[in-house]
Structure 1
């Protein structure tokens, strides 16, 4: 039997992500475009956010919806970042794309050297 119900996981994750980002409920609500009472209800009551509100909260907190829902263990929005990078590739010129590729290569090499 699971130790936490899914709604409990969501409430816990929402509070943890908000604390991680150093936001109070009103600040998170403003960032997500929601009424402050909504964030309070999501964190303390049985109320669940709509899909659109879930996405808004995840975006405002820079975490994945999977993290908020308990489907991922880390709050990093790597999937969102990858999606954004992929989406914006078409906006780059060929020269900018080459520069971006070289920069990513440099970061990867730096990460490998730091891990040695």
Structure 2
């Protein structure tokens, strides 16, 4: 459901409703209504939300499970640690996941999970 995906994505980014509302130019109450399913954003606001959360509009509208919004010229700063932790969460949810365009096996997921966890541990112990 749109409202659930919207809320989950906002929380994954550790954004408040107030922050997203300010960025898209609506009141916090209006944004809250999007998350509760009481209102639907217009297309321009939907585009802004997708850009802020770095996800595709199709994913938000449940037309696709392809989550990432691919933008060659991004004005947002990427947080690689947050992206890695988000990827770990998705792997742990055990949802259908692709690996190079093909369904991922349990073994591939386990290897990827171990690699990401190791990289995160190493980066936290020796940040430079």
Q: 1:58 maps to which residue?
A: 50
Secondary structure (helix, strand or coil) at the match of 2:22 reads helix
Distance 1:46 1:35 in 2: 14
C-alpha contact 1:66 1:72 (8 A) present in aligned 2? yes
Task: Indicate whether 1:34 and 2:26 are aligned.
Answer: yes
Q: 2:7 maps to which residue?
A: 15
- How many angstroms does 1:46 deviate by? 2.4
C-alpha contact 1:32 1:59 (8 A) present in aligned 2? no
Q: How many residues in Structure 1 have an aligned counterpart in Structure 2?
A: 75
Q: Give the structure-1-normalised TM-score.
A: 0.57
Task: Indicate whether 1:73 and 2:70 are aligned.
Answer: no
Distance 2:14 2:67 in 1: 14
Distance 1:71 1:40 in 2: 22
Distance 1:42 1:55 in 2: 14
- C-alpha distance after superposition, 1:40-89 (max 9, x if no partner): 000114211111111111111111111110112142112xx14x48xxxx
Q: Give the structure-2-normalised TM-score.
A: 0.52
Write 1 or 2 for the structure with the bigger share of helix.
1
Q: 1:88 maps to which residue?
A: none
